[in-house]
Amino acid sequence: MGYNRINHLKKIIQVQNVYLAHKPSGATDVFIYKNYIAPVFFICQRTFNRYLATNARKELKELVTSNK
C-alpha cells in the first residue's frame, strides 16, 4: 500500500485541533503533549512540534484541488 499524504495531513489537523481545544485554558505545550497528544496519537514531542508548525489545512486544500 502506498503512502497517502492526504491521510497524513488529516492526522496533523486532528493533532492541531486537540492542541487548540486545550491551549486557551492556559496549559503549556508540554502538558498538552503529555496528557492529550502522546496517549492518543503515539508521536514524540519533536513530531508534535513539527505538526504544530505545519500549515496542514492549506496543503490539504491544495492537494484536493490538484487531484480533481
**How far is residue 59's CA from residue 56's CA, in Å, rounded to a whole number?**
5
Domain ranges of the chain: 5-67
pTM over 0.75: yes
Which cell numbers in the block locate residue 35?
496528557
pLDDT band at 1 (very low <50, low <70, confident <90, very high): very low
Q: Is the pLDDT of residue 7 over 60?
A: yes
Q: Is the pLDDT of residue 4 over 90?
A: no
Q: What is the pLDDT of residues 13-53, one digit of tens each?
A: 999 999 999 999 999 999 999 999 999 999 999 999 999 99
